[in-house]
């Protein structure tokens, strides 16, 4: 498995948020895996689903109108809908530590709340191999070992292990995606993001507008520019719905309500729109969660939304900049660093 990169262009990590720790587990049988964002003391949660083909778990309970107000972890996984099984391992790990929503007074009467989202990576290697409960457990163990504030590996690891980008003109012209993170601290409050980028579209630097990774030209040596190519009359290849998807978590240590967390997740999609072109397509299930641990002071909510969009865009760029090239059988997915020379 190619090594993960821990030296992104944009510094910081979601684990800089107080009350948040992150772990990855990567399967060695084929490039796939899962990543977990732990909030063991509990966090208020929200979600915003913008893609047309999502694979999710426990998202309805995050609706501000619904009862449950606390989240203990969020799982991001490869393996398409099969990968949702990994959330059971996260629940088991939390339950073993007495963490969960109390549902009675007797021992064991608690339910860990673990929303999840998955991306499609079944076309990279043997599709019969996908993350399950053991992988979710292992990701939690990794998070517990790393702890809050730990440096996070990025690129070909966890939920980003089998990710790819730039598939509008077919897998033969695609490039390696990955998982990335970033954070910003302002007036004592931190906002961070962890984003697994497996997009149909290209990834660009939101600051410069320059492409980083995406659909390649016919000779494979340069970036095609998916949106520009379509506007020039090039026809996209027919893509099975749901075979892509960018998923992620935005976390802050500010104190927020469920409704505000939902809005924060929505602001994160502004960052995806800056970094991925096209985004939110019929073939993507783009889903972002938001968590608020409440362990820091207050910050203007509009400012928090600005930070959420910015760290999401930065983390998306880090995901492909940190990725390494991948070859599985006849499939070759070069990384951004390869085309950069």
Could you report the per-residue pLDDT of 164-217, keeping only the tens digit for each?
Answer: 999 999 999 999 999 999 999 999 999 999 999 999 999 999 989 999 999 999
- Backbone torsions φ then ψ of 178, nearest 5 degrees: 170, -165
Count CB neighbours of 71 within 10 A.
29
| 68-112: pLDDT as tens digits | 989 999 999 999 999 999 999 999 999 999 999 998 877 778 999
pLDDT at 341 over 60: no
Q: Torsions phi, psi of 166, nearest 5? A: 70, 50
CA 136 from chain centre, in angstroms, equals 15
Q: Domain extents for the chain?
A: 15-339
Residues ≥6 apart with Cβ < 8 Å to 250: 14, 191, 192, 193, 264, 265, 268, 288, 289, 290, 291, 308, 311, 312
Residue 234 has pLDDT above 90, yes or no: yes
CATH architecture of 15-339: 4-Layer Sandwich (3.60)
Q: What integer pLDDT is reported at residue 188 of this predicted model?
A: 95
d(CA 129, CA 127) in angstroms, rounded, equals 5
Please, are residues 269 and 51 in contact by the beta-carbon 8 Å criterion? Answer: no
Kindly give, in sequence order, each residue whose CB lies less than 8 Å from that of residue 234, ignoring residues fewer than 6 positions away: 169
H or E element in which residue 35 lies: strand 32-49
* Residue 225 Cα distances to 202, 231, 307, 315, angstroms: 7, 10, 27, 21
* pTM reported for the whole predicted model: 0.95
């Amino acid at each position: 498995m190619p090594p993960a990169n821990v030296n992104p262009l944009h510094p910081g990590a979601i684990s800089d948020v107080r009350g948040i720790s992150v772990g990855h587990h990567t399967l060695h049988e084929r490039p796939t895996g899962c990543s977990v964002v732990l909030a063991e003391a509990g966090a208020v949660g929200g979600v915003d689903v913008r893609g047309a083909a999502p694979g999710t778990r426990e998202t309805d309970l995050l609706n501000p109108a619904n009862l449950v107000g606390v989240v203990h972890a969020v799982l991001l996984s490869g393996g398409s809908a099969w990968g949702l099984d990994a959330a059971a391992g996260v629940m088991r790990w939390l339950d073993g530590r007495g963490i969960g929503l109390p549902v009675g007074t007797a021992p064991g009467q608690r339910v860990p709340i673990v929303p999840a989202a998955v991306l499609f990576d079944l076309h990279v290697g043997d599709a019969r191999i996908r993350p399950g409960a053991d992988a979710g457990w292992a990701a939690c163990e990794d998070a517990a070992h790393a702890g809050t504030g730990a440096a996070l590996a990025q690129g070909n690891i966890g939920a980003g292990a089998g990710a790819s980008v730039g598939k509008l003109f077919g897998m033969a012209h695609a490039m390696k995606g990955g998982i990335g993170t970033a954070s910003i601290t302002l007036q004592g409050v931190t906002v961070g993001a962890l984003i697994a980028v497996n997009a149909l579209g290209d990834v660009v630097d939101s600051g410069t507008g320059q492409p980083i990774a995406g659909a390649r030209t016919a000779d494979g040596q340069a970036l095609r520019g998916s949106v520009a190519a379509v506007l020039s009359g090039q026809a996209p290849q027919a893509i099975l719905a749901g075979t892509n998807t960018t998923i992620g978590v935005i976390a802050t240590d500010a104190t927020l309500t469920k409704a505000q967390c939902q809005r924060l997740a929505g602001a994160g999609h502004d960052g995806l729109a800056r970094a991925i072109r096209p985004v939110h397509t019929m073939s993507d299930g783009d889903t972002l969660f938001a968590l608020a641990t409440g362990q820091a002071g207050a910050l203007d909510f509009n400012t928090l939304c600005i930070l959420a969009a910015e760290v999401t865009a930065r983390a998306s760029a880090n995901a492909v900049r940190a990725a390494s090239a991948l070859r599985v059988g006849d499939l070759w997915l070069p990384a951004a660093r390869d085309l950069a020379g």
